[in-house]
């Protein structure tokens, strides 16, 4: 596109005010995602962009590449005005806002290589043989208008018709021999009809193929309201890019299940509601999509929790228990009632390409919480939707809140596959980018994290524990982190106060040792570090190297607040506390270079075609 004399080049507004009448539904929120703009030149522009999403319903998947905007002689100072949006840019001038950061992974935003309809226009003739020629232009010029591209949104209007699902490919740990659509089992994607029975019927039917190549259930375009349903082994749940699974807001749609063994009771107290998507004692299960959406519609649950109207713990969006060979990938998760993704007592887990969104004022919407898992790999491949935004920890490990149980399975994270430096972009205003604890009755060991970008977060890496927790946090390795606008870069707290009951063991002292941070850059920071060990039980073996921290305009005078810790630093600015003195010689903190077994896993390319049917 070529544009001249514009007020805005890009304009997306989520507050377009007109409605047909006064009875409009304030809960009818649009889903705006996968917006791609590329190859544009604009001249004489006042504002580059005004992009206003909806609070609690951000516009995601925005991609803008290869754009040059020439400004007026008196341009506005704030060129990119962005709120409640998430995405990425590449080769854009002037530079875009922080919510659309530049990416070295995306060079050209997607544009379909073939038309949706294979239609060839015909040349028609009038009886006097005067021809009307219909011409398809492959370019567009716009002159003297308010906005080059304007998206006006206040409610969703849809036109639906019978559609044949086009073939597509997707990566998975295993492909399936058999395939079915949810609509074949009575599914109705109108956003109002319950599909709980359709999901259960479909999965119960597909179980029979577990020993015959497995099966996949395709959730096609539409809005699919459902309560909790259970998965099966050798099975793939695929959520189409234009599909939205809507979590029911009725408590009766979520069965009651026992507390986790390592917790003794629900996270919120009492028992537990089953998660929206649940599985236990499974082998080889995949939950994936083409960036399809799971919307937990959590507002009702949040309100009940705040009003103390719930006896049992709110449902999670996805929970997989006592399982192995688990893949959760390429999905957008919105407004979970509580935690978003919770693999627990699992092994060989791959989680990648996730976008997780929730308002900042709601409780316990943690992003990804692996609990008591062995070999868990978090590859945050966030290409277009590269923003994880919750009010709680983006990535946390929770090992149970009961008394010390002795060693269970060691959780291992690796937000990197084969040292290919995949990025995670995270926005967590009120909590940590990576949190270790506080539930850790099984211990936390061998955690690796790298190539992480965090914006506007309370802390970068946080260890949360306290007397009575017991357990251990050992062999933690983090490197190559970029952080902007932080309260703390490093935070270790030994007085995290919550306990499962009043009978907690005051002699259960946690062991914290061998904590390694290196190659960290942080900007606009209030405190460099707050490191509080336990009197008589110091946190030891702390190593911090190659760290540059730039402070806010009004930083706190005491930058490193350290008590009951021991360790060493090297090339750290501002200089650390006396308990972490500079090393006498060059030092680079440890980061394991050996490849984890799960990093050797190669995902297969699986294909769906209409002819691949099961009945």
pLDDT band at 133, cuts 50/70/90?
A: very low
DSSP secondary structure code for residue 534 in this structure: B
Q: Does residue 134 form part of some domain? A: no
Q: pLDDT by residue (tens digit) across 290-335?
A: 999 999 999 999 999 999 999 889 999 999 999 999 999 999 999 9
Instruction: Identify the residue with better confidence: 528 or 20.
Output: 528
Closest CA to 517 of 545, 475, 556, 559: 545
- Is the confidence at residue 479, as pLDDT, over 60? yes
Q: pLDDT by residue (tens digit) across 545-571?
A: 999 999 998 888 899 999 999 999 999
Q: Are 373 and 102 in contact (CB under 8 A)?
A: no
What is the mean predicted confidence (pLDDT) over 253-275? Answer: 81
Q: Does residue 145 form part of some domain? A: yes
- Is the confidence at residue 471, as pLDDT, over 50? yes
DSSP 126-168: -TT--EE-----S--EEES-SEEEEEE-SS--------PPPPE
pLDDT for res 422:
38
Q: Does residue 63 form part of some domain? A: yes
Q: Are 173 and 603 in contact (CB under 8 A)?
A: yes
Q: Pairing between strand 277-280 and 229-230?
A: parallel
Q: Does residue 276 form part of some domain? A: no
- Is the confidence at residue 418, as pLDDT, over 90? no
Give the number of domains in the chain.
1
- Is the confidence at residue 584, as pLDDT, over 70? yes
User: What totals of helices (H) and strands (E) does the chain contain, helices first?
Assistant: 2, 38
pTM here is: 0.66
pLDDT for res 613:
61
573-to-69, 556, 558 alpha-carbon distances in Å = 38, 15, 13
55's tokens: 């609070």
**CB burial readout 180-190, b (16+ within 10 A) else e:** bbbbbbebbbe
Q: CA-CA distance, 508 to 82, in Å (whole number)? A: 48
- Is the confidence at residue 92, as pLDDT, over 50? yes
Q: Does residue 216 form part of some domain? A: no
Q: Does residue 84 form part of some domain? A: yes
pLDDT band at 415, cuts 50/70/90?
A: very low
Q: pLDDT by residue (tens digit) across 393-406?
A: 444 444 443 333 33
Q: Does residue 98 form part of some domain? A: yes
Q: Which of 31-40, 100-109, 288-297 has the lowest mean pLDDT?
A: 100-109
Strand partners for 381: none
Strand partners for 63: 36, 88
Domain span at residue 7 reads 2-112+139-152
Strand partners for 386: none
Q: Pairing between strand 131-132 and 124-125?
A: antiparallel
Q: CA-CA distance, 282 to 63, in Å (whole number)? A: 37
pLDDT for res 601:
84
pLDDT for res 119:
60
Highest mean pLDDT pick, 95-99, 217-221, 372-376: 217-221
Q: Does residue 13 form part of some domain? A: yes
Q: Quick check: helix, strand or coil at residue 342?
A: strand
Q: CA-CA distance, 138 to 374, in Å (whole number)? A: 53
Over the chain, what is the mean pLDDT? 80
pLDDT for res 436:
82
Q: Are 49 and 80 in contact (CB under 8 A)?
A: yes
pLDDT for res 568:
97
- Is the confidence at residue 498, as pLDDT, over 70? no
Q: pLDDT by residue (tens digit) across 173-232?
A: 999 999 999 999 999 999 999 999 999 999 999 999 999 999 999 999 999 999 999 999
Q: Are 377 and 598 in contact (CB under 8 A)?
A: yes
């Amino acid at each position: 596109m070529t544009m001249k004399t514009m007020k805005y080049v890009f304009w997306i507004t989520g507050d377009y005010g007109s409605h047909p009448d006064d009875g409009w539904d304030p809960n009818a929120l649009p889903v705006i995602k996968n917006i791609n703009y590329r190859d544009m030149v604009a001249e004489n522009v006042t504002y580059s962009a005004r992009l206003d999403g909806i609070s609690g319903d951000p516009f995601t998947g925005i991609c803008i590449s290869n754009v040059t905007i020439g400004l007026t002689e008196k341009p506005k100072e704030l060129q990119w005005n962005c709120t409640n949006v998430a995405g990425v840019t590449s080769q854009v001038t002037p530079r875009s806002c922080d919510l659309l950061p530049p990416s070295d992974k995306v060079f050209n935003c997607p544009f379909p290589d073939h038309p949706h309809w294979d239609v060839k226009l015909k040349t028609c003739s009038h009886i006097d043989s005067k021809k009307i020629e219909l011409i398809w232009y492959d370019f567009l010029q716009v002159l003297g208008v308010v906005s080059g591209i304007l998206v006006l949104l206040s409610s969703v209007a849809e036109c639906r018709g019978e559609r044949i699902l086009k073939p597509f490919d997707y990566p998975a740990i295993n492909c399936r021999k058999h395939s079915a659509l949810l609509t074949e089992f009575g599914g109705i994607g109108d956003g109002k009809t319950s599909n709980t029975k359709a999901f259960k019927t479909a999965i119960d039917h597909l179980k029979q193929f577990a020993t015959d190549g497995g099966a996949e259930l395709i959730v096609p375009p539409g809005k699919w309201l459902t309560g909790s349903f259970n998965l099966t082994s050798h099975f793939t749940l695929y959520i189409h890019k234009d599909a939205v699974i809507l979590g029911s807001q009725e408590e009766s749609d979520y069965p009651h299940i026992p507390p986790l063994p390592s917790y003794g009771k629900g996270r919120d107290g009492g028992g537990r509601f089953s998660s929206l998507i649940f599985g236990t004692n499974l082998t080889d299960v995949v939950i994936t999509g083409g960036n399809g959406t799971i919307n937990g519609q959590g507002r009702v649950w949040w309100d009940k929790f705040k009003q103390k109207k719930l006896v049992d713990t709110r449902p999670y969006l996805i929970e997989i228990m006592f399982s192995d060979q688990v893949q959760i990938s390429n999905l957008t998760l919105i407004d979970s009632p509580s935690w978003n993704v919770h693999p627990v007592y699992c092994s060989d887990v791959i989680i990648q390409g996730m976008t997780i969104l929730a308002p900042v004022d709601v409780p316990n919407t943690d992003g990804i919480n692996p609990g008591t898992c062995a070999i868990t790999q978090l590859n945050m491949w966030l290409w277009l939707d590269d923003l994880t935004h919750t009010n709680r920890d983006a990535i946390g490990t929770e090992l149970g809140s009961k008394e010390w149980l002795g060693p269970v399975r060691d959780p291992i994270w690796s937000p990197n596959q084969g040292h290919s430096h995949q990025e995670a972009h995270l926005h967590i205003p009120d909590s940590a980018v990576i949190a270790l604890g506080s539930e850790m009755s099984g211990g936390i060991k061998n955690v690796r994290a790298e190539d992480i970008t965090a914006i506007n977060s309370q802390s970068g890496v946080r260890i949360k524990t306290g007397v009575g927790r017991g357990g251990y946090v050992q062999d933690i390795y983090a490197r190559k982190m970029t952080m902007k606008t932080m309260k703390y870069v490093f935070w270790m707290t030994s007085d995290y106060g919550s306990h499962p009951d009043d009978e907690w063991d005051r002699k259960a002292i946690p062991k914290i040792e061998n904590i390694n941070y290196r190659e960290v850059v942080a900007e606009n920071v209030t405190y460099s570090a707050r490191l509080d060990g336990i009197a008589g039980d110091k946190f030891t073996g702390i190593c911090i190297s190659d760290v540059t921290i730039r402070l806010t305009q009004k930083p706190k005078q005491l930058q490193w607040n350290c008590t009951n810790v021991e360790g060493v630093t090297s090339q750290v600015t501002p200089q650390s506390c006396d308990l972490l003195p500079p090393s006498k010689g060059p030092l680079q903190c440890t980061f394991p270079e050996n490849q984890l077994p799960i990093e050797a896993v190669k995902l297969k390319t699986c294909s769906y075609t209409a002819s691949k049917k099961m009945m």
